[in-house]
């Protein structure tokens, strides 16, 4: 019986709103845009945050990444010879780090250079990553074919290479992958495996295989390509000596990561005259990203909440006008026995129907916008269940909150005065 009465009141509210379709639609627009903007902004924020945190997680929560950085011009002048810049991490740094901390599990050095890679008429410039087999334990990659570098490759200084899938497709095309011999620079290397390409950058840390990379044993990289690099730009020639571009350290326990990172930084300060390195902790970046995400969501929610507030004020304004227009109707209902709470209930039903309908339309708009953003720009967006339910419940709450005052005003109307109203 109670359910039937509720359904009848809801239908009565819908009928009243349908009597003024355009006015009802315009009243709902504030809620539509408010809910739509909440869903869209939360989706964009969630997508960007998830992408950033995924990139950080790929670096490993137990890892510390020490990278060579070209020093400032002032420091450069103090330590640069007349024809060559010398900076960055050294082989000696790698040895000291590996031997100085008891709770370090593994350490992998990284040397980077760019070389043309060729297979007959097909060629492409790849970034050559000289490293040790431990690198594939510290930064795991899915193996698509063959295998990764192993200790025997390092021990016998084998001229072997592991390609990322993008570089392999460009150079090897449709040919059989594993076992092919390709030329890197002027030297021949046997392809022993293909790993999945990973994108990106996390904070200020570049993931080594962010593009088409080729992994070769560290000792082979030192012997074939050396530590000297020549950069040619606009007719100028810049010579640099960098022994190692990165050292990746894995600590046994995540709780000890930040303490070990601080220890490494203090040790490097003792042996480097200039600040030509950075020490990054993915775990700290992850905590920072999560905190930034919370702040971002609060800011976005506040902005969208203002839109919903404006929509609620619009509903209240229209309902106040509706009470004035329907004064005689209210008087008749009161005269035939309707109680005040029934009048309040009737007007509240109408405002909730208005705001809920606006909220549902807004959800459709809010879900469509992230899909269009992803389709046209490629930016990651994520529509979560919370991102849908929260704005919908807020829109229903706004219907009750902003409909309460007009409904009480309607209930206070004197039946005798209302019946005289023209």
Cα 269 to Cα 267: distance, rounded to the nearest angstrom: 5
Please report the pLDDT score of residue 206 as a whole number: 52
229-259 residue pLDDT tens: 777 666 667 778 889 999 999 888 878 888 8
Which has more pLDDT, 181 or 338? 181
pLDDT of 72 > 80? The answer is no
Give 218's pLDDT tier (boundaries 50, 70, 90): very high
| Band of pLDDT at residue 345, cut at 50, 70 and 90 | confident
Report the percent of the chain where pLDDT is more than 90. 10
384 has a pLDDT exceeding 70: yes
* pLDDT over threshold 80, residue 195: yes
At 167, list the tokens: 């570089």
Q: Averaged over 209-231, what is the pLDDT? A: 81
Q: Would you state the structure tokens that stand for residue 223, as one six-digit string?
A: 């012997």
pLDDT at 321: 82
pLDDT interval class at 138 (50, 70, 90) = confident
Q: Which of 110, 36, 66 lies closest to 308, judged by CA?
A: 36
Of 333 and 43, which is predicted with more confidence? 43
pLDDT at 131: 92
Q: Taking each helix axis as running N to C, give the angle between helix 21-58 and helix 2-18, from 0 to 180 degrees, rounded to the nearest 10.
A: 110
Task: Find the mean pLDDT for residues 108-123.
Answer: 84
Query: Do the Cβ atoms of 318 and 23 come closer than 8 Å?
Result: yes
- pLDDT over threshold 70, residue 79: no
| H/E segment holding residue 399 | helix 385-411
pLDDT attached to residue 109: 92
How confident is residue 132, by pLDDT bands cut at 50, 70 and 90? very high
- The answer on pLDDT for 385 being more than 60 is yes
Asked if 164 and 209 count as a contact pair (C-beta separation under 8 A), the reply is yes
What pLDDT does residue 1 have?
A: 58
Q: How confident is the model at residue 418 (pLDDT cuts 50, 70, 90)?
A: low
**CA–CA separation, 256 vs 27, rounded Å?**
58
Q: Where are the alpha helices (DSSP H) in 272-383?
A: 282-325, 327-335, 340-377
Looking at the predicted structure, is the pLDDT value of residue 201 above 60? no
Q: How far is CA 73 from the centre of its chain?
A: 34
- Please name the residues in contact with 34: beta carbons below 8 A apart, sequence gap of 6 or more: 304, 305, 307, 308, 309, 310, 311, 362, 391, 395
Would the pLDDT of 184 be above 90? no
What number is the average pLDDT over the span 256-282?
Answer: 87
- Only one residue has tokens 């050396």, namely 226
What pairs with residue 280 in β-bridges? 65
Looking at per-residue confidence, does 71 or 250 come out higher?
250
pLDDT at 330: 78
Calpha distance 79→29 (Å, rounded): 65
> Across residues 269-275, what is the average pLDDT?
87
Sign of CA dihedral 143, 147, 152, 157: negative
CA distances (Å), 212 to each of 35, 59, 93, 195, in order? 42, 18, 28, 11
Tell me what pLDDT residue 86 has: 83
The pLDDT confidence band at residue 92, using thresholds 50, 70 and 90, is: very high
Beta strand segments in 185-270, E? 187-195, 201-202, 205-206, 213-217, 228-233, 236-241, 246-251
322-335 residue pLDDT tens = 888 778 777 787 77
């Amino acid at each position: 019986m109670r359910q039937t009465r509720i359904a009848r009141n809801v239908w009565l509210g819908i009928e009243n709103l349908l009597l003024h379709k355009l006015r009802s639609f315009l009243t709902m627009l504030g809620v539509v845009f408010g809910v739509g903007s909440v869903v869209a902004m939360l989706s964009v924020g969630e997508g960007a945050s998830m992408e950033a945190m995924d990139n950080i997680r790929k670096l490993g929560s137990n890892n510390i990444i020490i990278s060579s950085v070209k020093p400032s011009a002032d420091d450069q002048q103090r330590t640069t010879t007349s024809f060559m810049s010398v900076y960055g991490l050294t082989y000696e740094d790698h040895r000291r780090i590996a031997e100085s901390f008891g709770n370090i599990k593994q350490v992998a050095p990284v040397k980077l250079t760019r070389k043309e890679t060729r297979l007959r008429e097909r060629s492409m410039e790849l970034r050559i990553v000289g490293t040790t087999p431990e690198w594939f334990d510290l930064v795991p990659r899915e193996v698509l074919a063959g295998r990764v570098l192993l200790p025997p490759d390092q021990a016998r200084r084998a001229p072997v290479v592991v390609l990322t899938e993008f570089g392999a497709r460009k150079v090897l095309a449709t040919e059989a992958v594993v076992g092919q011999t390709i030329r890197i620079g002027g030297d021949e290397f046997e392809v022993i495996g293909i790993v999945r390409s990973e994108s990106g950058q996390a904070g200020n840390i570049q993931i080594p295989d962010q593009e088409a990379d080729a992994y070769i044993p560290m000792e082979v990289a030192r012997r074939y390509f050396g530590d000297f690099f020549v950069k040619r730009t606009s007719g100028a020639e810049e010579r640099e000596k960098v022994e190692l571009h990165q050292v990746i350290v894995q600590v046994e326990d995540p709780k000890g990561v930040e303490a070990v990172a601080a220890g490494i930084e203090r040790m490097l300060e003792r042996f480097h005259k200039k600040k030509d390195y950075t020490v990054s902790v993915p775990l700290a970046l992850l905590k920072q990203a999560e905190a930034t995400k919370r702040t971002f969501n609060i800011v976005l929610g506040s902005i969208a909440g203002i839109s919903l507030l404006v929509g609620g004020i619009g509903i209240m304004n229209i309902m106040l006008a509706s009470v004035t227009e329907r004064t005689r109707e209210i008087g008749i209902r009161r005269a035939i026995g309707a109680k005040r709470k029934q009048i309040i209930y009737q007007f509240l039903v109408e405002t909730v129907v208005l705001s809920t309908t606006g909220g549902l339309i807004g959800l459709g708009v809010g879900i469509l916008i992230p899909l269009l953003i992803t389709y046209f720009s490629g930016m990651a967006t994520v529509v979560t269940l919370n991102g849908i339910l929260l704005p919908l419940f807020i829109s229903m709450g706004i219907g009750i909150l902003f409909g309460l005052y007009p409904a009480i005003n309607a209930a206070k109307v004197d039946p005798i005065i209302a019946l005289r109203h023209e």
